[in-house]
Copies of this chain bind each other. A is one copy, B any other.
Amino acid sequence: MTYAKNDVFTPDLQELAAFAKVLAHPARLAILDYLAGQEQCISGDITSEIPLSRTTVSQHLQELKNAGLIHGTVSGTRIYYCLEQEKIGELKVRMHSFMEKLASAKTECSI
């Protein structure tokens, strides 16, 4: 989760990069996408939705959880996962404002 020379950059960029890294795997995007599509929070049949081994999916879930983007509620032997809207919102805003900054750059790129 941390790179060797990371601490050389501003916390802001580091955090955004860390967020981006969580999104940088199709399985994790697929999990988020799936959770967003469910009315009710469904437990580990996420596992059957994602074409990877149960262990691997569980690992991706863990990463999403560590990033604060989802949370799980234990109920018996099952765990109900769902999106953590507060964090999702934060990520959305930060990512978008970074992209806006790029998009509104002058780019007077003629020489």
Knowing A83-B102, A95-B99 touch, does A24 contact B26 (C-beta < 8 A)?
A: no
Please indicate the chain B residues that have their CB under 8 angstroms from the CB of A24 in the complex. 17-18, 20-21, 23-24
Contact A99 B107 (CB under 8 A): no
Please indicate the chain B residues that have their CB under 8 angstroms from the CB of A9 in the complex. 26-27, 29-30, 51
Copies of this chain in the oligomer: 2
Knowing A20-B24, A106-B39 touch, does A92 contact B99 (C-beta < 8 A)?
A: yes
1/0 per residue, CB under 8 A from B, across A82-106: the answer is 1101001101100110111111111
8 A Cβ contacts from A8-52 to B: 8-10, 13-14, 16-18, 20-21, 23-30, 32-33, 35-41, 51-52
